[in-house]
C-alpha cells in the first residue's frame, strides 16, 4: 500500500487527492464558480452614446444610459443575471438632491434598463457620496471646533433615495453608506410606500479600505476632507463585523454583504457560518486594478488569477459576487 505509513501500532493514512478522472473531479468539486452568481457594477452618467474610460480601471467605463443598456444586455446574454448601478450626477450639492431626483441619473437608467431588459436584475446602490459636493456618505455639519457626519438626519435622505429607486423599478436596494439604522429607515420607508416586496441587500460589513481607491475616480466620489473611518469599519476587527451584520438582519436586510472581498474572506466565512443568510462579497475596484496592472506587465496570468480569486470568494461562502470581472469571467468559464 503505497499511501499507508505505520506510526507505532496504528496505521496512519496520508491524506491524498482523489484517484480521479476529470469527470470525477468535476462531479465532486465542492465549489462552483458560475456566471449566475455574478453581478456587474456599472457607472452611469447623463448623455447618449457616451463611453468614458476609467483610467485607473482598465476595461471599465462611465456610461450613458443607452450604453449601460448595451453593456447590461451583453452581460445578460452571457449569463450574468444582474447589474448594480452607481450614478454620477450632473451637479453635486450639500443635500445630495441628485440622489433622489425623479429624473436623476439612476432613476432614468433604471427605467430604461427595466423597459429594455425586463428579466435583468437591476440593483441600485444607495449612498450619498457621489451626490454630495463634499464626497461624504452622509450629511456633514461644520461646527466651530469640529466637522461631523450627522447620522440620523442622513437616514431620512437615504430612505428617500431608496424609495425613488423603487419607484423607478429597482429590483434590489443596496445601501452602502454605513450610517447606523439605515436598513430600518429604508425598510420602513419602502413598506410605507407599498414596496414591501422590494428586498434590501445591505453592505453590512463594509471596511474603511484603501482598496476603494480606483472606484473614487470612477464614481468621482472621493471625500474632499477627512476620511470615512468614522462610519466604515477598522480592518483589524471581526467581532464588529458580526455585530454589524446581526444589526442589519434585525433591521430587515434580506442579503448581507462583506466588502472588500479578497482581503476579508475570513469575514465572509464567519458571516456565512454564523447567520446562514444569503451572503454577497464585493470584489472592489482596487482588487480589480491590481490584477489588471500586474497582468498588463506579464507578472501574473490574468485569467487564471481572476478565476482563482473569485473561486476563493465562493469557497469562503459568498453566494453572490459583485465584480468588475463579471463579463470576463463569464467568457472564460464558458470556454
Ligand atoms: C460608496 C461606495 C464605495 C464603493 C461602493 N460604494 C466607495 C467608498 O465607500 O468610498 C467602493 C466600490 C469599489 O471600490 O469598487 N458609495
Render pLDDT for 259-292 as a digit per residue (tens, 0 to 9).
Answer: 999 999 999 999 999 999 999 999 999 999 999 9
3-state DSSP helix/strand/coil percent for the chain, to nearest 5? 45, 20, 35
Q: Between residues 3 and 107, which one has the greater pLDDT?
A: 107
Query: Which residues have a Cβ under 8 Å from the Cβ of 72 and sit 6 or more positions away?
Result: 40, 42, 83, 113, 117, 120
Q: Catalytic one among 114, 193, 206, 272?
A: 206
pLDDT at 154 over 60: yes
Q: In this structure, which residue's CA is closest to atom 5 in ligand 1?
A: 176
Answer yes or no: are the C-beta atoms of 323 and 59 closer than 8 Å.
Answer: no
33-334 placed in CATH 3.30.300.30: no
Domain ranges of the chain: 33-334
Atom number of ligand 1 nearest to Cα 211 = 14
Q: What is the mean pLDDT of the chain?
A: 93
Q: In this structure, which residue's CA is closest to atom 10 in ligand 1?
A: 212
pTM, rounded to two decimals? 0.93
Average pLDDT over every residue of 327-332: 98
Alpha-carbon span 96 to 154, nearest angstrom: 10
Q: Which residues pair with 11 in a beta bridge?
A: 6
Answer yes or no: are the C-beta atoms of 106 and 168 closer than 8 Å.
Answer: yes
Q: Would you state the pLDDT for residue 224? A: 87
Alpha-carbon span 12 to 328, nearest angstrom: 44
Q: Between residues 223 and 173, which one has the greater pLDDT?
A: 173
**Omega before residue 240 within 30° of 0, cis:** no
Q: In this structure, which residue's CA is closest to atom 2 in ligand 1?
A: 176
Cell matching residue 135: 464626497
Q: Would you state the pLDDT for residue 13? A: 61
Known catalytic membership, residue 114: no
Pocket-forming residues, ligand 1, beta carbon under 6 Å: 125, 127, 129, 176, 212, 215-216, 228, 284-285
**Ligand 1 geometric centre to CA of 28 (Å):** 36
pLDDT at 70 over 70: yes
Size (the chain), residues: 335
Q: Would you state the pLDDT for residue 2? A: 54
Known catalytic membership, residue 95: no
Average pLDDT over every residue of 228-238: 91
Average pLDDT over every residue of 140-167: 93
Amino acid at each position: 500500500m503505497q499511501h499507508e505509513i505505520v506510526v507505532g501500532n496504528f496505521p496512519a493514512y496520508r491524506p491524498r487527492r482523489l484517484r480521479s478522472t476529470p469527470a470525477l473531479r468535476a462531479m465532486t468539486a465542492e465549489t462552483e464558480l458560475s456566471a449566475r452568481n455574478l453581478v456587474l457594477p456599472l457607472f452611469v452618467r447623463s448623455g447618449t452614446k457616451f463611453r468614458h474610460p476609467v483610467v485607473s480601471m482598465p476595461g471599465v467605463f462611465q456610461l450613458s444610459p443607452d450604453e449601460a443598456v448595451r453593456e447590461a444586455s451583453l452581460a445578460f446574454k452571457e449569463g450574468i443575471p444582474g447589474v448594480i448601478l452607481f450614478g454620477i450626477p450632473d451637479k453635486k450639492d450639500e443635500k445630495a438632491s441628485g440622489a433622489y431626483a425623479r429624473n436623476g441619473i439612476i432613476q432614468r437608467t433604471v427605467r430604461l434598463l427595466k423597459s429594455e431588459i425586463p428579466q435583468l436584475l437591476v440593483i441600485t446602490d444607495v449612498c450619498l457620496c457621489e451626490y454630495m459636493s463634499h464626497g461624504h456618505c452622509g450629511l456633514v455639519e461644520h461646527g466651530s471646533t469640529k466637522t461631523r457626519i450627522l447620522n440620523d438626519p442622513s437616514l431620512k435622505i437615504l430612505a428617500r433615495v431608496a424609495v425613488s429607486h423603487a419607484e423607478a423599478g429597482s429590483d434590489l436596494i443596496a445601501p452602502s453608506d454605513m450610517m447606523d439604522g439605515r436598513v430600518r429607515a429604508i425598510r420602513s420607508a419602502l413598506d410605507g410606500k407599498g414596496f414591501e416586496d422590494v428586498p434590501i441587500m445591505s453592505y453590512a460589513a463594509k471596511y474603511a479600505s484603501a482598496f476603494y481607491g480606483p472606484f473614487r475616480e470612477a464614481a468621482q466620489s472621493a471625500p474632499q476632507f477627512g476620511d470615512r473611518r468614522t462610519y466604515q469599519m477598522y480592518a483589524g476587527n471581526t467581532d464588529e463585523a458580526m455585530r454589524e451584520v446581526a444589526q442589519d438582519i434585525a433591521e430587515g436586510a434580506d442579503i448581507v454583504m462583506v466588502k472588500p472581498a479578497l482581503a476579508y474572506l475570513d469575514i465572509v466565512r464567519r458571516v456565512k457560518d454564523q447567520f446562514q443568510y444569503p451572503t454577497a462579497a464585493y470584489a472592489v475596484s482596487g482588487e480589480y486594478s491590481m490584477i489588471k496592472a500586474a497582468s498588463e506587465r506579464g507578472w501574473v496570468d490574468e485569467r487564471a488569477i481572476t478565476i482563482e480569486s473569485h473561486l476563493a470568494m465562493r469557497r469562503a461562502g459568498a453566494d453572490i459576487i459583485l465584480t468588475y470581472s463579471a463579463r470576463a469571467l463569464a467568457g472564460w468559464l464558458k470556454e
